[in-house]
Amino acid sequence: MYDIIIIGAGPAGLTAALYALRANKTVLLIEKATFGGQITFSPKIENYPGFEAVDGNALADSFFEQVTAQGAEFELEEATAIIDNGATKTVVTDCGEHEAKAVIIATGAKHRMLGAGNEENFAGNGISFCAVCDGAFYAGKEVIVVGGGNSALQEAILLSDLCSKVTVVQNLADFTGEKKLVDVLKSKPNTEFIFNTVIKEFIGEDELKGAKILNTETNEEKDIFFDGAFVAIGLAPDNKAFENVAALDKFGYVDSDESCLTKTAGVFTAGDCRKKAIRQITTATADGAVAALAACRYIDGM
């Protein structure tokens, strides 16, 4: 029996573990993939306080080493369900079951991938998913933005102020984002738009050089060349397995209050899997602290 089980070991989950451990609670971290979450795809992070620049993997390792030094236990398993027993909760995984007095869901949200050739090879090494995080690395260079919704338009507008050229590649005949954003983007002199086009394959050996694109109307294929790519086709949370204890919005994000409490007493949430406006490392760590302290108060009041 643990005091708190945390599902997910990204910045939110690891911060929650740290705060819970410092409150003398026993903690089990359950992670199905990589300790550190999405930050491990960022080769250079420059917007996390305390570091002028830090490698994402190095920051993840630092988080993980800190919580394990404090006594956190961890399992590389996939959580498939949470059972509410009242005073206790059972977390079911692909390897068994674990019991706790409280649970924090910190499963994060993954950036949707295009499914193009070589995409995974260049993710974090030429292909980025956040202009706020990585745009400065491409100052004065040529980039593409893939997508046509509000997220893609906002990324392209930000990048147009940094890069020498921004080409937006959209698979539909027009943008799907707000007209105001479209107008702002079209007013930028260093932008270009390619419609009815998909990325077939990213080109390069050690470094990303460009992509092979396909016009879905004419079936014409050609190569385009650039220094970096920003994929902005949305995020995908992974909370479906927990909807019995946590209400989800229409996009699949967990609804919670300011203390990160879900609809179930003793079940909390933190980080990018939670319904919120901003998803950054700093907001994830803030959620982790809030959720952990709320979980500790809940346990202390039992």
CA distances to 45, 129, 206, 248 from 168, rounded to whole Å, are 24, 14, 24, 32
Counting every residue written for the chain, the total comes to 302
The active-site residue, picked from 3, 84, 95, 130, is 130
Instruction: Give the up-direction half-sphere exposure of residue 157: CA atoms within 13 A in the CB hemisphere.
Output: 17
Provide CB contacts within 8 A for 220, sequence distance 6+. 214
- Which tokens is 166 given? 């921004």
Name the phi and psi angles at 136, rounded to 5.
-65, -25
Active site residue 163: no
The catalytically annotated residue of 133, 163, 260, 296 is 133
CA distance 66 to 9: 13
Residue in the block written with tokens 């077939």: 200
From the list 134, 227, 272, 287, the catalytic residue is 134
In this structure, are residues 75 and 93 in contact, taking their beta carbons and an 8 Å threshold?
Answer: yes
CA distance to 54, 73, 198, 281, 301, per residue, from 182 (Å): 34, 49, 20, 28, 52
Query: Hey, what are 159's tokens?
Result: 């990048």
Identify whether 134 is a catalytic site residue: yes
What is the number of alpha carbons within 13 Å of residue 32 lying toward its C-beta? Answer: 13
227 as an active site residue: the answer is no
Measured between alpha carbons, how far is 58 from 44 in angstroms, rounded to an integer?
10
- 299 φ/ψ sector (left φ>0, alpha ψ -120 to 50, else beta): alpha
CA distances (Å), 15 to each of 4, 70, 109, in order?
13, 12, 17
Q: CA 44, CA 69: separation in Å to the nearest integer?
A: 25
Check residue 18 and report its DSSP letter: H
Q: Catalytic residue positions?
A: 130, 133-134
